[in-house]
Amino acid sequence: MPVYKAPVEDTLFVLKDVLGIEKFNNLPGFADATGDMVDAIVGEAAKLAEEVLFPVNLSGDQEGCTRHDDGSVTTPKGFKEAYQTYREGGWIGLSVPEEFGGQGLPYVLHTAVGEYMSSANMALTMYPGLTSGAIAAILVHGSDEQKSTYLPKMVEGTWTGTMNLTEPHCGTDLGMLRTKAAPQPDGSYKISGQKIFISAGEHDMSENIIHLVLARIEGAPEGTKGISLFIVPKFILNADGTPGTRNGVSCGAIEHKMGIHGNATCVLNYDEATGYLIGAENKGLAAMFVMMNEARLGVGLQGLAISETAYQNAANYARERIQGRALTGPKAPDKKADPIIVHADIRRALLQMRAINEAGRAFSLYSALQSDIAHRSADPAERQKADDILSIMTPVLKGVMTDRGFENAVAAQQVYGGHGYIEEHGMSQYVRDARIAMIYEGANGVQAMDLVGRKLAANGGRAVMAVFKEIGDFCEENRADERLAPFTKALKKGLNDLQAATMWFMQNAMAKPDNAGAGATDYMHLFGLVIQGYMWGRTVKAVHALQDAGDSRTEFLANKLVTARFFMERLMPETALRKARIETGCDTVMALDAAAF
């Protein structure tokens, strides 16, 4: 049976020692996040994840969701109760403004605890996760009335939320969507059409479900310029704000999926359902992108989350499973064989997971902190810079951490040998669950294209320059630090590759855009390596400072340095390969006729 223990020590180290969140106490909400408060919140989240969410994870996968003939959906045994505990803990509103029932704490804290929830039970955590996305969209684009009507109930989790984008014939290309919205005399709309792949679309855990739905108002322009966003509650509210009449939206089927069986992925049929416009007419995509960007950070975090729990289980198994002897002679001579963790190849696999997870944790929290600064700073220049950096981090975190998270889950499963292939050990679930994170909220190829096609060039490259400057400055400022030199040197080499690849796009992709497409995925991963290398650089610097100050976490800090060294030795050099691939351009890639594939 799998186990899970939230990495509290590492989270607190990243928040306090690497990112230094106490330095941001001029931002609203941060002053409340004192050291003790952070300890308490992270500790409570760990308990919830370990003791409430995790125990129903494997059983939830095996049972899955059930749709009944009346279109209602039952979640797996124990999900409803676990969700109630989650909800009652106030976790959904952790970083939501207090006026809507939230606690107004930093988003970076919401992200820190979110990792634990997804590690413990990704399928279950998606229900409140989608609610958070819907809350974010209503907060930014909703009217005051909409905010006061929907947010408090969503924040307390008695109502949940969904995102309705995809239709059978359109996913990435939302310009083709057909769901219709017919204006009604009372200012509402009648929504009709079919949406697919709607996570948490129907279930038995909340009193109401607030669907955010993209649709086209009759007579609206074709393409993405004619899309509007609507609030469509499962139960239309009574005058007193309580759920009333059942609305014309129903679950036609739930999908038979590879994983996340505990989350109901629904086909939702809208049949003249009552909907309310949110934001401006035909500006639905912009409103949806608020949810989408938040969701992308959340999905990147899922990549880390599954990778972390898969790693923990692989490490345990490698310590317990005895098989064969160490190449250097028996390490457990009293036993029939040595634990397989004596083997360098097993350790290599474990360290690779670990190096990516620890960098990924710093990367996620660093990105969340940029979101806090972008939303809460009083200084417009600081806000803009943080928003620029976040615009780059979003596709990189989503694409890289989900690709790597899946790879790590596969590598963790491999440590189990044949036992990893058997469902009862839980490693198969991690692989199957992690797989979706590479696909939804924009498949990773779409993230790569967003990065090279949109984010790089935006505002004359302002955002990417800000990132390069921050990392370059870090290397420069620490040039004289001899202990740090092996790390900054490797990082600088990676940064040089990244800058050269960027320059190559500037020079070769304007006239020939397929040169960007052919290198997009390699570029996203090259970027990911450099960001992770930067996180390791900052980590090592923090470790040295703590060691110099005689910090008592002796072993924890020493292990950090080993893992950092592993990253720089084994993973960072991949930047040269990625750059070389990018520079081969698109000619070969575009040479075949479509029919020849």
E-state strands within 165-242: 180-183, 189-199, 208-217, 228-233, 235-237
Half-sphere exposure for 168 (CA within 13 Å, toward CB): 6
Report the residue from 2, 78, 171, 426 that binds a copy of itself according to the rule CB under 8 A: 171
Q: Between residues 477 and 587, which has the closer beta carbon with respect to a copy of itself?
A: 587
Q: Which is nearer to a copy of itself, 26 or 172 (CB)?
A: 172
Write out the two tokens for 198. Answer: 């709607």
Which residues in 504-533 contact a copy of itself (CB under 8 A)? 513-518, 520-521
Q: How far is the CB of 457 from a copy of itself (least distance, A)?
A: 13
3-state secondary structure of 89: coil
342 belongs to the binding site for a copy of itself (CB under 8 A): yes
Residues of this chain, 182-211, that bind a copy of itself according to CB under 8 A? 196-197
Coil, strand or helix at 523: helix
- When binding is defined by CB under 8 A, the residue of 68, 348, 462, 479 that contacts a copy of itself is 348
> Helix crossing, 284-320 with 427-437: angle to 10°?
160
Q: Which stretch binds a copy of itself (CB under 8 A): 65-73, 375-383, 434-442, 500-508?
A: 434-442
Q: By CB under 8 A, is residue 554 in contact with a copy of itself?
A: no
Q: Among residues 154 and 314, whose Cβ is nearest to a copy of itself?
A: 314
120, 49 Cβ separation under 8 angstroms: yes
Give me the least distance between CB of 54 and a copy of itself, in Å please.
Answer: 20
Give the burial class of 565: count Cβ atoms within 10 A of its Cβ; 0-12 exposed, 13-18 middle, 19 or more buried: middle
Of 60, 233, 339, 399, which one interacts with a copy of itself (CB under 8 A)?
Answer: 339
Considering the complex, what minimum distance in angstroms separates the CB of residue 428 from a copy of itself? 4
Instruction: Give the CA count within 13 Å in the CB-facing half-sphere of 304.
Output: 30
The nearer residue to a copy of itself, 232 or 449, going by C-beta atoms, is 449
CA distances from 400 to 35, 230, 362, 411, 465 (A): 31, 32, 14, 16, 20
Query: Shortest approach of a copy of itself to residue 145 CB, angstroms?
Result: 34
Closest CA to 498 of 582, 424, 560, 561: 582
Nearer to a copy of itself, 280 or 590 (CB): 590
User: Scanning residues 256 to 285, which ones bind a copy of itself (CB under 8 A)?
Assistant: 256-259
**Binding to a copy of itself by residue 473, rule CB under 8 A?**
no
* CB distance 468 to 506 below 8 Å: no
Contacts with a copy of itself in 18-77 (CB under 8 A)?
A: none
Three-state SS at 190: strand
In this structure, what are the phi and psi dihedrals at residue 596, rounded to the nearest 5 degrees? -80, -15
**Residue 236 contacts a copy of itself per CB under 8 A:** no
Query: In the annotation, is 441 catalytic?
Result: yes
3-class DSSP assignment, residue 65: coil
* 438 belongs to the binding site for a copy of itself (CB under 8 A): yes
Q: Which of 110, 296, 435, 525 binds a copy of itself (CB under 8 A)?
A: 435
Task: Give the binding range for a copy of itself (CB under 8 A) out of 147-155, 289-297, 475-483, 587-595.
Answer: 587-595
CB of 575 to a copy of itself, least distance (A): 10
Which of 167, 308, 358, 441 is flagged as catalytic?
A: 441
Q: Which of these segments, 202-210, 406-414, 474-482, 488-496, binds a copy of itself (CB under 8 A)?
A: 406-414
Contact residues for 117 (Cβ-Cβ < 8 A; gap 6+): 45, 48, 49, 53, 86, 91, 124, 125, 128, 305
- Give least dist CB 275 to a copy of itself, A: 23
The CB-side HSE value for 521 (13 A sphere, CA atoms) comes to 10
Q: How far is the CB of 569 from a copy of itself (least distance, A)?
A: 4
Stretch that binds a copy of itself, among 28-36, 63-71, 76-84, 444-452 (CB under 8 A): 444-452
Q: Does 220 bind a copy of itself (CB under 8 A)?
A: no
Count the site residues for a copy of itself by CB under 8 A. 94
Kindly state the smallest distance separating residue 314's Cβ from a copy of itself, in Å.
9
Copy the structure tokens of residue 44: 């409570």
For a copy of itself, give the closer residue by CB, 235 or 556.
556
Q: How far is the CB of 266 from a copy of itself (least distance, A)?
A: 12
Give 279-313 as a DSSP string.
Answer: SSTT-HHHHHHHHHHHHHHHHHHHHHHHHHHHHHH
Please give the residues from 299 up to 338 whose contact with a copy of itself meets the rule CB under 8 A: 315, 318-319, 322-324, 327-328, 336-337
Among 414, 496, 499, 547, binds a copy of itself (CB under 8 A): 414
The set of residues, in sequence order, having a beta carbon less than 8 Å from that of 235 and lying 6+ positions away, is 207, 208, 243, 244, 245, 246, 247
Q: Which of 10, 50, 255, 382 binds a copy of itself (CB under 8 A)?
A: 255
- Interface pick for a copy of itself out of 231, 232, 306, 351 (rule CB under 8 A): 351
Query: What mask, x for binding a copy of itself by CB under 8 A, covers residues 123 to 162?
Result: ----------------------------------------
- Out of 432, 492, 493, 538, which residue is the one contacting a copy of itself (CB under 8 A)? 432
Whether the CB-CB separation of 247 and 234 falls below 8 Å is answered with yes
CA distances to 158, 211, 349, 571, 577 from 581, in Å: 50, 43, 25, 16, 6
User: How far is residue 514 CA from its own chain's centroid?
Assistant: 28
Distance CA 157, CA 163 (A): 16
CB of residue 389 to a copy of itself, shortest distance in Å: 24
Q: CA separation (Å) from 145 to 134, 289, 365, 372, 554?
A: 16, 22, 33, 25, 54
Q: Which residues form the catalytic set?
A: 441
